[in-house]
């Protein structure tokens, strides 16, 4: 029984530590032209189920027609998520014009 419990605990630890980072990139128009980079953050509760505050991408982009948006979990975002046990889950939004 002890060996099974130890194997199960090892499996859980490996599953949690070996997850990959989430990254989503969308390119609008011809993509970034000038290389101007803007970074903002989204704030969520309970593993991202309840949004607290999200970045207003329309305001960050302005009137630019060619840009890319990347939403990702940085190392710091993952660390804060792990530190709070999933209660607070931030994401990083990067817009390149």
Residue 3 falls inside a structural domain = no
Q: What is the pLDDT of residues 54-69, one digit of tens each?
A: 888 888 888 888 899 9
The answer to the question of residue 7 being in a domain is no
Classify residue 5: in a domain, yes or no: no
For 81, the domain range is 21-96
How big is the chain, counted in residues?
A: 97
Q: Which residues contact 1 (CB under 8 A, 6 or more apart)?
A: none
Could you tell me if residue 9 is inside a domain? no
Domain count for the chain, please give it: 1
Higher pLDDT, 32 or 15: 32
Taking Cα atoms as reference points, which of 88, 44, 92 lies closest to residue 71?
Answer: 92
Q: Which pTM value belongs to this model?
A: 0.69
73-88 per-position pLDDT tens digit: 888 888 888 888 888 9
- State residue 94's pLDDT score: 92
| SS3 per residue for the chain | CHHHHHHHHHHHHHHHHCCCCCEEEEEECCCCCCCCEEEEEEEEECCCCEEEECCCHHHHHCCCCCEEEEEECCHHHHHHHHHCCCCEEEEEEEEEC
């Amino acid at each position: 029984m002890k060996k099974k419990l130890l194997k199960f605990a090892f499996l859980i630890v490996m599953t949690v530590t070996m997850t990959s980072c989430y990254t989503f990139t969308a390119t609008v128009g011809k993509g970034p032209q000038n290389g101007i980079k803007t970074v903002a953050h989204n704030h969520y509760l309970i593993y991202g189920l309840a949004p607290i505050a999200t970045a207003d991408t329309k305001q960050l982009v302005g009137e630019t027609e060619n840009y890319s948006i990347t939403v990702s979990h940085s190392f710091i975002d993952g660390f804060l998520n792990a530190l709070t046990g999933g209660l607070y889950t931030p994401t990083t939004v990067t817009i390149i014009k």
